[in-house]
Structure 1
Amino acid sequence: MKKHILAGVVLALISGQVAAKTWVLTDADSSTEQGNWQISSAQLKLEGEPFSIEQKVLHGGKQEGSKVITVTSKDGLTILLSPTRGMDLLRVTGHGIRLGWDSPVNEVVNPAYINLESRNGLGWLEGFNEMMVRCGYEWTGHPVTKDGVIYTLHGKAGNTPASKVEVIVDDQAPHEIRIRGLLKEHTFKKANLETWTELRYVPGSDSFTIHDVLTNKADYPHDYQIIYHSNFSTPILEENARFIAPLESVSPFNDYAKKGLNNWATYGAPTKDFDEMVFNLKPKADSNGKTVAAVINSKGDKGASIEFDTHQLPLLTMWKNTDTLKQGYVTGIEPGTNYAYPVTVEKQQGRVKQLQPGQTAEFTLIYSLLKDAAAVQKVEQRVKTLQGNEPAKIDEKPIAVE
């Protein structure tokens, strides 16, 4: 085993007394940076499903210095995330299916090259190409200026490089992999929020888990918001693809979205000049607060689903952006604490959460690649069971005006 790999290894006992190996790839406190790095199940002499984990430092253009970690499972999923971009997921592939989309932004843009306040607070869009981007945590939603402060589009987490990055592999089968990253939103007199993000993946599986823990490190209460902006395109998104979820209610985000209420859960082919339509959803859940949302293709033999806890993430946004392929043909499934209106609107309507000093909030989401008709039918049945006999209420009036 190479010396640079051994140098980062620390033996530890993880919860449940499962022995694991930990590699520290980045640590701002000790000025640690491994740069290009890799490990594999073969190097670790682990039996079972083969896997590899690799970090690469990118060069050229606006991605200069950006880092990408790739988790590869031979018979499962390949997952790409970027510690430079808030530990967000770039794309996921498996069984010939992609979770993600094609944005006109085709580089992993280093936040150093982004001005979030450009274009009247829309600078976030200059780096937007992820499969899943964390919108938050200090605020989220559409940009707004209040009392001389610009609250930029979808907050800062997605453009915050991780201060610490760890890779953990369980010694015991099935050798769960955990990629952890610490995001700091620290501003003098304003915020002292920290989030430990974590990707959990069992090699060979068609699902993975995101588990994040947000902590208010300040001596004062602080507001927070989070939307898990999860984006899907071809080969799942296509003409007559469908969005499914058990719902209490559906309402249009604005007057433009009202035009699409009659077929809001069905997608069209790529259409020039189709402006985005957004729908505010209130999900139904089981007795434990668990629910699921999914997008499936027209044949019902491939898709993507997200399971989440409505005690943590009580609301759901569906983003329909069926523009041309080059412009960005994509839909978003977005569990969150709030909707995508500006923070001023969300606060006025009582959807902004707050953490007391030292208090934490946890968020757990399970993403699944639905590789065949059987996997799709299983999710569809769960949605039908949770929906029950009472259909979702369709409200024609937007609940707020920007």
Structure 2
Amino acid sequence: MDFRQVREYIGKLDQVFAVKQYVLQGGRQEGVHAIDVSTGAGMELTILPDRCMDFYQLKLNGKGLNFLSPTGIVGPSYCGKAVDGWLSSFGGGFLTTCGMDNIGVGGEDQGEILRMHGSLSNTPAEQVSVCTTVEEGVPTVRISGVMRDATLFLGDVHMTRTVVLRHGINAFEFTDRFVNVGFSTRPLMLLYHFNMGYPLLDETAQLILPTNRVTPRTKHAADYVEQYACITPPSTPFEEMCYYHDIQADDQGMATVGLRNAQQHLGVEITYDKKVLDHFVQWKMLGKGEYAIGLEPCNATIDGRADARENGSLKYLAPGEEVVCRFRVAAYQ
């Protein structure tokens, strides 16, 4: 039914397209700002402005599509500061954004001590905006916020994320715009840690990975490279594996990856701009209680910034320069 007709049946838009803002209480999630959106077609998305505008839960018809780690939601003030402290605040979620100064393992590069996967996912948003309008006859919500990576003597890079959801559609788009507002060229490392989980992910699921080439990251991963796409039941012990993929792209440079589960009647597809995110990592972690597949578009290798600098994959952002990453996420039965 066209929304112009639907309007005659409702008193408030929340009946068919709900946007709710609230603050979490209790434990290490205390004070975290959250935004829930229900599109009215079965998709529900939870956005955490205090965690880089990342996506904590994505559901379709009440079924979760992503992995949630034992840490749960951790507010920025409780995040560990050690080089590997990222793990103690990694809640999983549908998306955890990594960068801007480092992705992958922590360490030192040119005198800077860098945390595992950087500090971006623990950065709260400023200038948060939630705006619901009717665009071309369709109720639409635009949610945006600004994350700043600023340190005296090291530079100032801003990231603006804008998420767009529409009534009646089980898909959404988001755009990340990175701008160097400082006066020195800075490394820019980005990794989008999409985490597939149960019930979408089980041993009956199938990866959507149109790959031209598979490269194991470690010797352990190399031992199982022929089974990179094989999804097994949870087991323990299970040692994680990572594989680099050269994902196929269309004529516009857009690539699509995902996961489908015919038995659960669930599927997710993620479309991204491979011209900007020219690397891709598959994270395979099928341990008991740690059961996840990571689909991770990125712009460099993941053995730390010093290694990326040496192998030539490290990207830079000059003063005044900007980089834009565009995504579309679709869920289906």
Report the TM-score, using the length of structure 1 for normalisation.
0.77
TM-superposition CA deviations, 1:24-68 (whole Å, max 9, x none)? xxxxxxxxxxxxxxxxx967x559x81121111112211111111
Distance 1:299 1:263, change over 3 A: farther
For the residues of structure 1 that align with 2:55 and 2:323, how far apart are their CA atoms? 21
> 1:86 and 2:48 equivalent?
no
Could you tell me which residue of structure 1 aligns to residue 274 of structure 2?
310
- Which amino acid letter does the alignment assign opposite residue 210 of structure 2? P
- Which amino acid letter does the alignment assign opposite residue 162 of structure 1? A
Could you tell me which residue of structure 2 aligns to residue 115 of structure 1?
80
Could you tell me which residue of structure 2 aligns to residue 156 of structure 1?
119
TM-superposition CA deviations, 1:298-341 (whole Å, max 9, x none)? 6484221111111121121100100002xx21111011112322
> 1:221 and 2:188 equivalent?
no
> 1:338 and 2:300 equivalent?
yes
- Which amino acid letter does the alignment assign opposite residue 175 of structure 2? H
Mapping of residues 388-399 of structure 1, within 5 Å: none
Could you tell me which residue of structure 2 aligns to residue 203 of structure 1?
167
Q: Give the CA deviation at 1:262.
A: 1.2
For the residues of structure 2 that align with 1:92 and 1:324, how far apart are their CA atoms? 22
> 1:264 and 2:264 equivalent?
no
Mapping of residues 1-400 of structure 1, within 5 Å: 50-106=16-72, 108-117=73-82, 121-129=83-91, 130-146=93-109, 149-172=112-135, 173-297=137-261, 299=263, 301-325=265-289, 328-371=290-333
For the residues of structure 2 that align with 1:250 and 1:169, how far apart are their CA atoms? 43
TM-superposition CA deviations, 1:84-123 (whole Å, max 9, x none)? 11111001111243221131112x2111011231xxx111
For the residues of structure 1 that align with 2:65 and 2:238, how far apart are their CA atoms? 22
8 Å contact 1:138–1:191 — kept in the other structure? no
For the residues of structure 2 that align with 1:54 and 1:89, how far apart are their CA atoms? 15
- Which amino acid letter does the alignment assign opposite residue 125 of structure 1? L
8 Å contact 1:316–1:336 — kept in the other structure? yes
8 Å contact 1:224–1:355 — kept in the other structure? yes
Gaps of 5+ in 2: 1-8
Report the TM-score, using the length of structure 2 for normalisation.
0.92
For the residues of structure 1 that align with 2:112 and 2:182, how far apart are their CA atoms? 21
8 Å contact 2:155–2:183 — kept in the other structure? no
RMSD: 1.9
Matched length:
323
Greater alpha carbon shift after TM alignment, 230-239 vs 241-250 = 241-250
For the residues of structure 2 that align with 1:339 and 1:209, how far apart are their CA atoms? 26
Distance 1:127 1:98, change over 3 A: same
TM-superposition CA deviations, 1:130-170 (whole Å, max 9, x none)? 21011011221111134553211111110001121001222
Distance 1:133 1:42, change over 3 A: farther
8 Å contact 1:76–1:203 — kept in the other structure? no
8 Å contact 2:17–2:139 — kept in the other structure? no
| Greater gyration radius | 1
The alignment-based identity, stated in percent, is 27
- Which amino acid letter does the alignment assign opposite residue 16 of structure 2? P
Runs of 4+ in 1 over 3 A off after TM superposition: 146-149, 298-301
Gaps of 5+ in 1: 1-40, 372-402
- Which amino acid letter does the alignment assign opposite residue 82 of structure 1? L
For the residues of structure 2 that align with 1:259 and 1:303, how far apart are their CA atoms? 29
8 Å contact 1:280–1:317 — kept in the other structure? yes
8 Å contact 1:91–1:98 — kept in the other structure? yes
Query: Which SS does the other structure have where 1:313 is aligned?
Result: coil
Distance 1:85 1:151, change over 3 A: same
